[in-house]
Structure 1
Amino acid sequence: MSGKETLEDYVAKKKAGTKSILEAYREWARGDIELRDPNPPRSFLEVVVRLDYSLWFWTVVSVEAVTLLLVAVSSTSPILTPARYLFGSLFVLFLPGYSLIRALYQSRELSPIEELALSIGLSLAIVPLVGLVLNYTPFGIRLAPVLTSLAILTTALSLLGLYRKYSEIVEVVYES
């Protein structure tokens, strides 16, 4: 794939169809071709707004919001308790570690299985540390402080990961 050729042109040269799209994806996954955004974001705010760069961030924030809403509402509506357990498990056992992974590792550095395993493992390490810190505050280890602190930590780590993505874009696009 040449420097100025679009993905559409590249696939069209190979006889358009599902097989050529899959072949282009495999070449990209192997590192044989490099895909570049023809209109990369110019600011951090643009990275936040464009879903092709920040869909994972908005998914994390949405799961956090749904979890907090379910915790607040499920005490009055017991039918929502299973949903509370599901989202609460994601909130505690996956999201903190996933946000940390996004903040620490660059794109495509880990396979999805490695990312999943590290996310769960790091969450299992981070959440007790949050509880330990909360134990020595006046708030103690209760539902509201734990939810609040985990939500703030996860959002902060997610924002850090998003900023790291922006820095990667600046490094690759504007300095090369």
Structure 2
Amino acid sequence: MTRGRGLWLMVPKQFRDLPADLATVLAVVAVTNLTVFLPVVNETPLRIIVGLAFVLFIPGYAFIAALFPEAGEAPTSDGELEGEGSVGADEDAAEVEGQLRDRGIDGIERVALSFGLSIAIVPLIGLTLNFTPFGIRLVPILVSLSGFTVVATAIAAQRRWDLPEDERFRVPYRDWYAAGKSELFDPESTVDAVLNVALAVAMLLAISSVVYAVAVPPQGEQFTEFYILTEDDDGELVADNYPQELVAGEPQPLHVGIENNEYEEIDYTVVVQLQQVEGEGNESTVVNRAEVDRWSTTLSHNQSEIEQREFVVDDSTAADFEGEDRRLAFLLYDGAPPTQPTRENSYRNLHLWVNVTTADNGS
């Protein structure tokens, strides 16, 4: 007995007897979880490719396998049904329907239903999660789908084992392999050989195109979202009720949000300045400025972050800027900011109009 054979016999009998298609389903579940949770692999296109196959086909296939463990036959015309011949007066439609029902489903129907049921099962699981504390997030959805698929696969395997061996559904992959090998390496004519090569090349090109389209999606508009929010009485973040007063020594909480849609990782820096402005509109000029806060963050593409900050001006700054219509400017930079940050050299900028008072006047 070879070493490999000995190791195989150490595997529990239930796994050794597992049908090849159901074993493949469990393998795809395992690979999908690995591509999501492994630190390096989850940043590669493999995660998208395996994830699409898992979401669009695997749950539905496992469910169909549990419902229909028996081998099926292709649909036939009425004349080819059991008891071939015209349906007499003593035969009703129920008998014909029974014959159609007893034939099970064939491979093509099984594949089609697998796609359709997967598209139905995934949203239903997501809807269920929406009413739980877990919510619709990646990890809960993946764990739920994986659990559903494993349970359905176990039921499908048990139901097949309960059937006589000649009635069980099985994927004839050995027959497919033998037929494909014969067509490729032992064609009946030169024309068949040329057509086989052309078909193989066409399939490779099609698969390569799909993989490239998934791995390197076309880039849309590149931009960064930059916004300011406040917290209402219910604890919700809203774009309303912004502070209108800055009193020396009294912190003003604000939530500053950044969302990266640049199709690359960006190192952002936010500089917050208190500015005294003269003039109006396009004719306005900053005559005095003081930095109030500064922080940096790194975001990947399609990643967002909302930073809660408290802005405080000291007594000296409040005395210098005391007055109405002072501008609290938020300057966003892609990378390190220049020595003198201004609205003109910033990547994105926002501002709030505030009145600045010293501690004595504020009281």
Same-fold call, TM cutoff 0.5: yes
**Residues 1:101 and 2:64 are matched in the alignment:** yes
Q: Which runs of 5+ in 1 are unaligned?
A: 1-44
Please name the residue that 2:131 is paired with: 136
Is 1:154 the counterpart of 2:149? The answer is: yes
Match of 1:49 among 4, 13, 16: 16
Partner residue, 2:36: 71
Structure 1 residues 1-176: aligned runs within 5 Å: 46-50=13-17, 53-73=18-38, 76-77=40-41, 81-109=44-72, 110-169=105-164
Please identify the structure whose Cα radius of gyration is greater.
2
Q: Between Structure 1 and Structure 2, which shows a larger proportion of helix residues?
A: 1
Letter paired with 2:132: T
Query: Helix, strand or coil for the counterpart of 2:129?
Result: helix
User: What residue identity is the alignment partner of 1:108?
Assistant: A
Question: Structure 1 residues 77, 100: CA separation in 2 closer, same or farther (over 3 Å shift)?
Answer: closer
Asked if structure 2 preserves the Cα contact closer than 8 Å seen for 1:127 and 1:150, the reply is: yes
Structure 1 counterpart SS, 2:111:
helix
Name whichever structure is richer in strand by fraction: 2
- 1:38-77, CA deviations, whole angstroms, 9 ceiling, x for partnerless residues? xxxxxxx745422xx521221111111111111123x645
**8 Å Cα contact 1:48/1:162 also seen in 2:** no
Q: 1:129 & 1:135 partners in 2: Cα distance? A: 10
Residue matched to 1:17: none
Tell me the CA shift for residue 92 of structure 1. 0.6
Runs ≥4 residues deviating over 6 A: none
The DSSP-based 3-state class of the residue aligned with 2:135 is coil
Q: Secondary structure at the match of 2:163?
A: helix
| Amino acid corresponding to residue 113 of structure 1 in structure 2 | I
The 1-side partners of 2:41 and 2:147 are apart by 26
Separation in structure 2 between the aligned mates of residue 77 and residue 168 of structure 1, nearest angstrom: 40
Cα drift, residue 130 of structure 1: 0.3
Q: Give the number of aligned pairs.
A: 124
CA distance in 1, matches of 2:152, 2:164: 18
* 1:81 CA displacement: 2.6
Instruction: State the superposition RMSD in angstroms.
Output: 2.2
Between 104-113 and 140-149, report the one with greater CA deviation. 104-113
Gap change, CA 1:154 and 1:77, over 3 Å in 2: closer
Cα distance, 1:107 vs structure 2: 2.5
Identity level (%)? 42
For 2:117 and 2:30, the matched residues in 1 are separated by 21
Does structure 2 conserve the Cα–Cα contact (< 8 Å) formed by 1:57 and 1:158? yes
Q: Using the alignment, how far apart are the partners of 1:47 and 1:167 within structure 2? A: 13
Structure 2, unaligned runs of 5 or more = 1-11, 73-104, 168-363
Q: Does the Cα contact within 8 Å between 2:41 and 2:47 map onto a contact in 1?
A: no
1:19 counterpart residue number: none
Q: TM-score, normalised by structure 1?
A: 0.64
User: Residue 24 of structure 1 aligns with which residue?
Assistant: none
